Amino acid sequence: MDPLGPVALRVRAGLAWRSVRRATLDARTAEYADGLLETGCRPGDALALDEAREGEVLAVVRAALAAGLAVHLGRAEPPFAAAFAGDPARAAELARLAGLDPVRVPVPTARDHGTSLERLAAHGVLRAARATGPAPAPDPSRPALASPGGAVLTSAELAAGVRALREVGDLLRPETTLLIATPLERPWLVALALAALETGTVVALGRIADAEELGPDVVVTTRAAVEALADGMDEPGRRARARSLRVQRGDAERPSRLAELARRLGRGRAVRPARCLVVADGALSRDLCTDLHVSGTTVLHAAADDRAAAPLLLNRPHRYRFDALGLPLPEHRAGATDGALVVEGPAVAGGRLEGALAVRPGPDGFLLPAEPLR
């Protein structure tokens, strides 16, 4: 057992990555929560996130939720009580939008003597300090997340999304790494990061190019990013099935395109690529899915909507179809009504969502896109 405790985050530090231990993350989260209350934020106030691509933002999100604030995802727009931006220039712009010029560093709490509050103020905006009130009582009906499209999810719905993602078999493994290679701007991404932290999975926020260095077990990214990796490689995707059969027969020479995909999707200096690749903004072609699968990476298509704190549908690491959008998550039900997806469950805003996608039923409970994948 590591005497320093388990690692919770991998955070970009210049050109390298540093590890943040769970004890450090928990302490920083508590300091930030105290700081937000110290500066006058109250339950129901808005904390705006802006270009959330760094691990530090997860401590801020956890602190805001603990303090009862509603976290507004996407580009920060006033009014807000506090804001977080990784770019100092954007932080200064947020200060101007909030009418705070210059940014006022709040009165420190007794616990941290101002250290974490100065760090928080350096990244974003906090309004003028006033006396700290009592810690907010838990309220499952309190707004927790607001999406860029304006959908608002409650604390109970976010907790249900985290719980459902934790229960997806073999997606999140303790002491492995989850790389979220897209900004933390969607409710289900926040829920996934929180679920990973609860299961002991190390979380890194970055770009898909970081996979080769980090060697993640699971990568969450966009369709465009995966297709960009495959562009310009030496064999067309239409020959993937034939090459798959050659590899299965044990041919000594692996196709170079597969080796290149494996290298770029992580563990380039080790043995194998990322175990799973989660894509929620569009379906990859069957040929590309086969390429990735043969190289060791299983594509898990998902269907996501900002009105839910978890994917509406998600393939499983050991139960998937490349032509499917996936299966409903634990505690949820999904089906097709007049060609439209209907999902019911505790992680969906209001408990029911209709018409998010055009789908058709598939075998074994899978739901497929209305138009077959090519």
pLDDT in tens, 22-49: 998 998 888 888 778 877 788 888 888 8
- Give per-residue pLDDT as tens, 74-118: 888 888 888 877 676 777 777 777 765 444 444 444 444 445 555
User: Helix, strand, or coil here: 265?
Assistant: coil
DSSP 329-370: PTT-EEEEETTEEEEESTTBGGGEEEEEEEEEE-GGG-EEES
- Mean pLDDT across the stretch 164-178? 93
Tell me: the pLDDT tens digits for 271-282?
Answer: 457 899 999 988
- CATH 3.40.50.12780 intervals, the chain: 156-369
Architecture of domain 156-369: 3-Layer(aba) Sandwich (3.40)
Of 79, 60, 65, the closest CA to residue 121 belongs to 60
Q: CB atoms < 10 A from the CB of 242, how many?
A: 11
Q: Check residues 147 and 233 and name the one with the higher pLDDT.
A: 147
Architecture (CATH level 2) of domain 7-137 = 3-Layer(aba) Sandwich (3.40)
Give yes or no for a contact between 134 and 66, defined as CB atoms under 8 angstroms apart. no
Please give the helix or strand (H or E) that residue 221 lies within, else none. strand 218-221
Average pLDDT over residues 291-308: 90
The mean pLDDT of the chain is 80
In a 13 Å sphere around the CA of 184, the CA atoms on its Cβ side amount to 30
Instruction: Specify the pTM.
Output: 0.84
Residue 51: count of CB within 10 angstroms of its CB? 17
